[in-house]
Structures are given as C-alpha cells and as structure tokens.
Amino acid sequence: MKIAAEPITELKLAGITKRFPGILACNNVSLQVARGEVLALVGENGAGKSTLMNILAGLYQPDAGTITVNGQEVRFHTPNDAYDRGIGMVHQNFMLVPNMTVTENVALGLKKLHKFMNLDLKEARRRIIEVSEHHELPVNPDAYIWQLSVGEQQRVELVKTLCFGAQLLILDEPTSALTPQETDDLIDRLKRMTAELSIIFISHKLNEVKALSDRVAILRHGAVVFNGQTADHSPADLAALMTGREIHLPRNEGMELGREVILKAEGLKVRGDRGHLALDGLDLELHAGEILGLAGVSGNGQRELAEAFTGLRPVEGGTVTFLGQDMTRRNPAAMIAAGLGYIPEDRHHEGIVPRFSVKENLILKDFHTAKFSWSVVLRQGGIRRNGDELKTAYDIRCASTAAAGGSLSGGNIQKVILARELAREPKALIAVYPTRGVDMGAQEFIHAQLLTRRREGGGILLISEELEEIMNLSDRIAVIYKGRILKVLSSLEATRERLGLLMAGVADE
Amino acid sequence: MNKFKLAYGFTIILIATLAAAGAAALVLKAIGADPWATFVTIFTGPFQDVFGITEILVRAVPLTLVALGIAIAFRSGIINIGAEGQMLMGILAATGMAISFPLWPKAVLLPMVILAGAVGGGLWASIAGSLRAYLGVNEILSTVMLNYIAVQFYTFFLRGPMIDPAELETGSGTPQSVRLPESAILSKLVPGTRLHTGLILALVLAVVVYFFLWHTTWGFRLRAAGAEPKAARYAGIHVERSLVTAMVLSGVFAGIAGAVEVSGVHHRAIEAISSGYGFAGIVVALFGALHPAGIIPAAVFFGLLLVGADMTQRSAGVPANMILVLQGVLILAIVSAKMYLNNAYAQERAYRLFTRLTGKSDATVKTGGQS
C-alpha cells in the first residue's frame, strides 16, 4: 500500500524561471535540499516564494529550468506527479472539505482507494492512525473538519500530506493562522519529523526561521539573494537581507499624552457565534493619544470585543461609551460617523470588497460624503484623485487604483485598509492583528503609521497575539482572558514572562 | 501570446457554435426536418423585410427591460427568478389603471399606466425581498413559488373581476380584459408594424440603470452589499435594506416590461401574455454579463431567435416547441463556452498542448494569479 517512491536524498532546483504577465515571478532560481534538512524560504510578500513552491509541487510549470530528484531530472505536470516522487505541499489556506471527516478528506486524495463503486475508508483510517502515531501528530480520524481548531486542521493537513507518501514537505506559512502556543507545538513536532523527512518552509517570522531551519534562502523580486546557514546569521541580518535595507521596527517612545477617556466599555456582555458569552462583564478604557495593547490568546473574546465596539455584534449587557456619549447598540454607520476606525481581522472579506477597485475600496466608508459625491452622484474625479494620493502616501503597490482590491497581496490589502481608516482621522482606532502575515517592510510601515496617529492624539486599541508588537507599541497593555480583562499593566511593568502567565489565565498579585 | 489568446477565444466560440449546431441538427434530423434549411430560416428569415426586423425589436424590448432588473438584483447579491410573476402583476396593475381612468388625457394616463406596472411588479417582488432580508428565506425558492401564485392571481382576475363584459354577453368567455383606451396605448414607432415607442423607453432605462449602478451612491451601496456583504456591513451599509431595495427595483423593471407589453403590443390583458420573457430575461441578463451594454445586444440576439423560431414553424414545418430545444442547446453552449473563456487554467493547458504540438515556446503564459 505504500507509495513506492525511493527516498529523496537530494532535491535540486536549477535555473527555475517563471513569468506572469508583466511580472517575472521567479528569475533563474537555484536551490537544493538534502535529506533530513530544513530549508527556510523567506522574502517579502510577492517575492515569488509561493510561485516557486507551486512549481515544485506540480501546480505550475516553469518556463525554464530543471528539477532533479536524486540526480534524476523530473517533470511534474500535476500535483500527483510530485506526490509520486515524494513531494507534498501544505498550502497556506487549508485544502480541506469542512463537512467531511478527517478520514474522508484523506481518502479523497488517495486514488488507490477509489475502486469501482467503492471507497475503502477503513484502509484510509488505518493509514491515518499509522502515520499520526509514527510522527506523533495526534488527530481524530472520525472528527469533522469544522469541529477542529485551526491548529488541529493544520495537523490534519500534515497527516494527509504524509499519507500521500510525501518525504519532502513544503509548508507555505504554516504558522500564519496559529496561536503562539500552537506555533511552538508545531515547530517541536516538525523538528522531530526531520529525522526522516526534508522540509522546505516559507515564513515571515524570522524567530521561527531561526528556531527550525538549518539553512535559509532569501528571495527578492523572484531571485535568490542569499543562501546560507541559519546559525551564522541573526534575525536582524536576515531582515536586512530580505528587504535590501536595515529594518527598524519603530517603538513607542512613551511620552505621556492626554488622559481623556474616549472609548469605554463597562460590564460588557456579548455572545459569540456559538451562543456562549464571549465577553462576560468586560471593562476597558481607552485614552486619547495612547496605544492600548490587548494581549491574549485568540478566542478569548478579542473579536467579539472589536465587533461590539464597532456596532457589528449585538450587545447583551453593559454599555459602550464613545466620546462621552452612550453608544451601546448603535449600528456600524453611527459608530463610523462618530469617528471610530476599525482594521478588521478578516482583511480579505471584511476589510475590502475584493471585486471593487482599489480606489472604490478606499472610499468604502465615505462614498456618501460631500467629498466623493454630489447629492447622490459619485464624483469620479475626486474618487480617482483620492485613490492616487493614498496610493502614494501609503505606498500601496498596485499597477493602478483601478485594479481589483482582491488581486493585491495581503500586505498591500492591509495598506489599503490602513490608508482608508487613517485618512478618516479617527478619534479612536481598533486594529485587530494589523500585521498578521505581512512582511517586515510592511510591518515597519504599519507600526510607524499607528505611532503617528497616536502622536496626533488618536487612541488606538491594538489587538494582537504578537507580544513583541504589543510591547513595542503600547503605552498600556491589557490582558484578556475568557471574556474579561485580567489585568492592565503599564508598558514599563510588562515583561514577556508576566504577559505570558497572564495570557494563560494566571493572575499575579 | 496575445495572438494565442485571440486564437483560443475564437476556437472556443467556434467549437461551442459547432457543438450547438451539431446537437440541434441531430434533434432536427430525428424529427425529419432539414437542419440546414431550419438554421437558414432562423438566422436569415427575420432579416428579409422591415417587418421581420421590427418583430425582433418588439421582442427585444421586454427582454431588455426584464434583464435590466435581473442585472440589478444579481449585482446586489440577490437572485430573482420571479420576473415572470412580477411581470404579470405589473400587467394587472397597468391594465387596471388604464381601464379605470379611460377618459384621462394620454399625457397623463400613459405614464400612470407604466408607473402602475412598476408599482405592481415592485410590490410583488418586495414580498420575496423582505422574506429573504429579514427572515432568511431563500429568494430562489420564494420567487419561483410566487410565480405560480401570480399566474393564478392573474387568471382569476381575467376570468372574474376584469373580464371583458362583451365576452360574457356573447358567452364565449375568453379570459381577457377589455381593450385599453386609446390614451393608454404606446404609439407606433414604424407604421404598419407592431414596433412601439417602448423601444425608446427600454434604451433610456438601460442608460439610467448603468448610471444608477456605477455613478450613484445608491448603486455603490447595492453593489458593495452584493459583492461582499461582510465588508459592506463593516462599512456601515444596511445590507438587509439594500437586498430589499434591489429586489424591489428588479420587480419594478419586470413590472414595467409587463406594462409596456400590454400597452404597446397586445392592448389588452390576455392569458400567456408574458410569453416566458420573465425567464428568457434571466438568460439575456447573464448572457449580457449583467451590464446594460451587454444586455441590449443579447436581447436583440434572443429576439432574433424567437422570431426565427416562429418563421421555421411556418416555412420549414418544424414544430414551435422544437425551438425551445434549440434555445436550450444554444444556452448550454454559450454558458460552457464562457466557462472555458474565463478559465485561465484551461487556457494554460491548451497553450502547453499547443506548444508541444508545434514545438514552439513562448514564455509569457497567462494564468490565474501568482504568489
């Protein structure tokens, strides 16, 4: 039953080139991976990492260049060809059918189990248990995908790929949707797996690169600009190589500004999607001119808090006060009009309308104001000018502001949202995971913009899982746990250890 | 590569056309008709005289009006399969208005008749719209069901309260209303034909719809809510309200189509007056890419098919129902061809096959996206 591919002792990519209209996605890329080795592939958004890996996994065809496995040249026309040679990829967005069980999802891709009018689910189940025990990746073969957390789904993806016979795993940003705990857990498991497997993994997070990889290759504009031992270089070196310049993540210099409370939650009670009380009597105060970091493991009520403030989620009990006015149960339009900005977690579907052009997305909240419409007629000229101005000011990289918002890379979509929200000069801004999955350069830019808004007197509620981000930017840090604020610390009191304990629900006195 | 893209598009359209013609020919052969003669009649018959051409336009008018409404609904994220019923309600309202105030001058009565049609269609659509927005009832189901109800409603009125008293006197009992007063009838555009000024109304409304959807804040709201409701809600747009608005507007256009049909063509409400325009209009809207500039030519094309079909019945002896088969085949071919035209992946595969066959290589292959 094993797919009989001989072990991969050496994989070589030589001179891989791939063009898309107007873009050279991969430019003469050469890489190699030996057995048991972990190669980290890093680079900014749009540097060509995913394209390169899609070529290796058989999804794309290279325009030029060769792939050799154990010294033998191979050509992959489909992902199945790649699997037959032992190469499997786990994509950034999981490829699982939510309303099927783990076993059924794996069986979908195991063509050998598909016999006439019969699908051998028992064999699939047996394989899953075998693989998950062997690699210490616990999964329940009978669970439905929709019941599983993101971390568990990640493990299912790994097991699935291994069941297909992969000996070289390609992982495209495997940690981008995981909590810090899940990330550490995954890295541990992956490390153990390298006894038998080779891994290529794509990541923006240089500390993970340091923790897991033996060698690191950096791509910039489709070309390899660096290829060397991970141990010889600090994260700062790698960051500089990645962007071609020094990266300085800006810090909050911490001068005291206004003490006026602008946004306040008192005894807030809000239900989550599954009907439980996601916020259970939460109290929080945001001052003008401060960045208040909200630390916490995701799923402790962060999303519900942001949505209750912005009027998107019904409030069951308690009050929301904004600029001295009771704004409990006001609709989103009222909150927007009052001057509340919001950078949502789901940037692809909530932050922008993907099919709308960039310039239309930039006026999503203001299309009805006098600046962009005359009575009910849209001012096309004003909309275009606004788009061009913000494109320049926020360094949004797109061919033109008439391009569809959904066609931009994640980092650039985030800049579109940031530009729209900050251009409105919000009195208070709620920023949820503002730099998740964006590259170092964009992260630096977004941080600088948030700090600028703070200096101008805006209050910012920064919801993030990255402790470093929170500690760099915040004046005060609140820790949320099970729908309540466990403690509020000043940035001077906060240490990684203390926050870590609080995030785990251990209140110190 | 651009040459290849052009050739690819052309080939796909050619294959789709041939496949449709082939399938249609098989069916025609099976019933003993001459396929070639039938095709020639459908596509050239209507162009032989002015009357044929005006007949194409007579059918294109309601198709355009219905399709414009469908485009508004689809663009706003709500699917309207109920244009047929909304049209009937429009006809009832328009007829009621016309026969209730026969003495009003034309300048007043005619606009009121069209307006009544709009209100009738819009009110009927508002049922499905509100059910969807506030109770989550699937609008495909509700609009289809409302079609059945509308048909019964319509028949009831034509057989009961609205029946032409003359029919009762003579005892023939044909379910139809009295003839509309002269002042409620759309003028002829070309004397001696059935083409009426509704054509101008349809063209004007096409421009209005374009302007509405892409150049007003109302259109912006509707399109945003349709394209991504989550983002629209986030931006402060009332998505529920926008769904109802879109459905009502869609019904308004179907209602206008009905009013124009009764006031321009039939001059009285009769049974089967909608001739399936409510359904054909959906195909026209999709074929016209949900854009007024595409809908007008699509409506003319489908008008041609309908008129050609009538002609084959007379000249080539092909039963009229056969034409429905031909239309179905054609629609399938069009939809499949569009799938292939928009599928970058299929295009790349075709390109690879092409280069392998010719041994030529061109580096710029277009695909869906990149990293």
Rounded to an integer, the average pLDDT of A255-261 is 73
pLDDT of residue A395: 87
Q: Which of A62-66, A267-271, A352-356, B196-200 has the lowest mean pLDDT?
A: A62-66
- Pick the closest to residue B363 from A224, A223, A16, A403 (CA basis): A16
pLDDT of residue A2: 43
Nearest CA-CA distance, residue A380 and chain B, Å: 8
- Asked if B219 and B249 sit in the same domain, the reply is yes
- Indicate if the pLDDT at residue B309 is higher than 90: no
pLDDT band at B362 (very low <50, low <70, confident <90, very high): very low
- Indicate if the pLDDT at residue B370 is higher than 70: no
- Asked if B56 and B79 sit in the same domain, the reply is yes
- Letter for the amino acid at B224? A
> Considering CB atoms only, which of A349, A350, A356 is closest to B224?
A356
Give B10-43 pLDDT, tens digit per residue: 888 788 888 888 888 888 888 888 888 888 888 8
Q: Which residues of B touch A17 (CB under 8 A)?
A: 363
Are the beta carbons of B217 and A373 separated by less than 8 Å?
Answer: yes
Structure pTM? 0.80
Q: Which residues of B touch A356 (CB under 8 A)?
A: 223-224, 227-228
Output the domain CATH number for residue B145. Answer: 1.10.3470
pLDDT band at A476 (very low <50, low <70, confident <90, very high): very high
Residue pair A127/A1 in contact (Cβ under 8 Å)? The answer is: yes
Bridge partners (DSSP) listed for residue A431: A343, A462
**Burial (CB count within 10 angstroms: exposed 0-12, middle 13-18, buried 19+), residue A501:** middle
Residue B293, in any domain of the structure: yes
pLDDT band at B299 (very low <50, low <70, confident <90, very high): very high
pLDDT of residue B366: 40
Are the beta carbons of A331 and B220 separated by less than 8 Å?
Answer: no
Q: For tokens 């699935």, name the residue.
A: A160
> Which residue in A has a C-alpha nearest to residue B353's C-alpha?
A77
DSSP A399: S
**Edge-to-edge strand order for the sheet containing A315-322?**
A277-287, A261-271, A315-322, A325-326
Q: Which residues of A touch B231 (CB under 8 A)?
A: 349-353, 364
When divided into structural domains, chain B yields a total of 2
- Indicate if the pLDDT at residue A262 is higher than 80: yes
Nearest CA-CA distance, residue B177 and chain A, Å: 41
pLDDT band at B2 (very low <50, low <70, confident <90, very high): low
> Considering CB atoms only, which of A51, A52, A352 is closest to B231?
A352
Residue B45, in any domain of the structure: no
| H-assigned helices in A150-301 | 150-163, 180-193, 206-212, 235-243
Q: Which residues of B touch A365 (CB under 8 A)?
A: 235-236
Are the beta carbons of B235 and A365 separated by less than 8 Å?
Answer: yes
Largest CA distance in chain B: 82
Residue pair B320/B313 in contact (Cβ under 8 Å)? The answer is: yes
pLDDT band at B360 (very low <50, low <70, confident <90, very high): low
Rounded to an integer, the average pLDDT of B267-287 is 87
> Considering CB atoms only, which of B216, B233, B371 is closest to A332?
B233
Cα distances from A320 to residues A174, A212, A223, A289, B236, in angstroms, run 37, 44, 51, 19, 18
- Indicate if the pLDDT at residue A165 is higher than 70: yes
Residue B56, in any domain of the structure: yes
- Asked if B118 and B249 sit in the same domain, the reply is yes
Rounded to an integer, the average pLDDT of A219-227 is 85
Say how far apart CA A51 and CA A172 lie, in whole Å.
11
Rounded to an integer, the average pLDDT of A220-231 is 85
Give B187-232 pLDDT, tens digit per residue: 888 888 899 999 999 999 999 999 999 999 999 999 999 999 999 9
Give B324-356 pLDDT, tens digit per residue: 777 788 778 877 887 777 666 677 777 777 777
pLDDT band at A4 (very low <50, low <70, confident <90, very high): very low
Residue B367, in any domain of the structure: no
- Asked if B154 and B299 sit in the same domain, the reply is yes
Rounded to an integer, the average pLDDT of A259-268 is 91
Q: Which residues of B touch A312 (CB under 8 A)?
A: 233-234
- Asked if B71 and B173 sit in the same domain, the reply is yes
pLDDT of residue B361: 47
Rounded to an integer, the average pLDDT of A121-140 is 87
Residue pair A112/A106 in contact (Cβ under 8 Å)? The answer is: no
- Asked if B75 and B185 sit in the same domain, the reply is yes
Residue pair A205/A45 in contact (Cβ under 8 Å)? The answer is: no
**Residues 6 or more apart whose Cβ sits within 8 Å of residue A85:** A5, A8, A69, A74, A76
Q: Which residues of B touch A342 (CB under 8 A)?
A: 234
Test mutation, B1, B217, B221, B234, chain A, max A CBs within 10 A: B234
Q: What is the mean pLDDT of chain A?
A: 86
- Per-residue exposure over B154-171, b if at least 16 CB sit within 10 Å of its own CB, e if not: beebbeeebbbeebeeee
Q: Which residues of A touch B221 (CB under 8 A)?
A: 367
- Asked if B217 and B352 sit in the same domain, the reply is no
Question: Which carries the bigger pLDDT value, residue B236 or residue A257?
Answer: B236
pLDDT of residue B243: 95
pLDDT band at B85 (very low <50, low <70, confident <90, very high): very high
pLDDT of residue B363: 42
CB-defined contacts A:B, below 8 A: 100
pLDDT of residue B132: 93
Rounded to an integer, the average pLDDT of B136-145 is 93
Are the beta carbons of B231 and A23 separated by less than 8 Å?
Answer: no
Q: Is the sign of the CA dihedral A96, A102, A105, A106 positive or negative?
A: positive
- Asked if B255 and B351 sit in the same domain, the reply is no
Are the beta carbons of B236 and A360 separated by less than 8 Å?
Answer: no
Say how far apart CA A337 and CA A326 lie, in whole Å.
14
pLDDT of residue B112: 95
A320: enclosing H helix or E strand = strand A315-322
Nearest CA-CA distance, residue B225 and chain A, Å: 9
pLDDT band at B316 (very low <50, low <70, confident <90, very high): low
Give B150-200 pLDDT, tens digit per residue: 999 999 999 888 888 888 888 777 888 888 898 989 988 888 889 999 999
Instruction: Report the Cα A449 to chain-centroid distance in Å.
Output: 20
ipTM of this complex prediction, to 2 decimal places: 0.80
3-state secondary structure of A385: helix
**Residues 6 or more apart whose Cβ sits within 8 Å of residue B313:** B319, B320, B323
- Letter for the amino acid at A247? I
Q: Which residues of A touch B218 (CB under 8 A)?
A: 376
Residue B365, in any domain of the structure: no
Q: Which of A311-320, B51-60, B98-107, B267-276 has the lowest mean pLDDT?
A: B267-276
Rounded to an integer, the average pLDDT of A220-236 is 84
pLDDT of residue B353: 76
- Indicate if the pLDDT at residue B265 is higher than 70: yes
pLDDT of residue B332: 83
In this structure, are strands A277-287 and A340-343 parallel, antiparallel, or unpaired?
Answer: unpaired
Domain of B307 in residue numbering reads as 50-317
Are the beta carbons of B232 and A353 separated by less than 8 Å?
Answer: yes
- Asked if B276 and B139 sit in the same domain, the reply is yes
Nearest CA-CA distance, residue A313 and chain B, Å: 11
- Asked if B138 and B272 sit in the same domain, the reply is yes
Bridge partners (DSSP) listed for residue A40: A201, A216
- Asked if B63 and B197 sit in the same domain, the reply is yes
- Letter for the amino acid at B25? A
Residue B38, in any domain of the structure: no
Radius of gyration of chain A from its Cα atoms, rounded to whole angstroms: 24
Q: Retrieve residue A6's tokens.
A: 């001989």
pLDDT band at A93 (very low <50, low <70, confident <90, very high): confident
pLDDT of residue B369: 38
Residue B43, in any domain of the structure: no
Q: Retrieve residue B252's tokens.
A: 């308004």
Are the beta carbons of B228 and A48 separated by less than 8 Å?
Answer: no
- Asked if B102 and B205 sit in the same domain, the reply is yes
Residue B220, in any domain of the structure: yes
> Which residue in A has a C-alpha nearest to residue B214's C-alpha?
A378
pLDDT band at B364 (very low <50, low <70, confident <90, very high): very low
> Which residue in A has a C-alpha nearest to residue B1's C-alpha?
A21
Cα distances from A129 to residues A102, A340, B51, B269, in angstroms, run 11, 50, 75, 70
Q: For tokens 């990645």, name the residue.
A: A242
Domains of chain A: 10-94+166-243 (3.40.50.300), 257-339+426-509 (3.40.50.300), 353-419 (no CATH)
Nearest CA-CA distance, residue A348 and chain B, Å: 9
Percent of chain A exceeding pLDDT 90 equals 30
Beta strands in B171-283 (DSSP E): none
Nearest CA-CA distance, residue B285 and chain A, Å: 19
Are the beta carbons of B231 and A350 separated by less than 8 Å?
Answer: yes
- Indicate if the pLDDT at residue A69 is higher than 70: yes
- Indicate if the pLDDT at residue A130 is higher than 60: yes
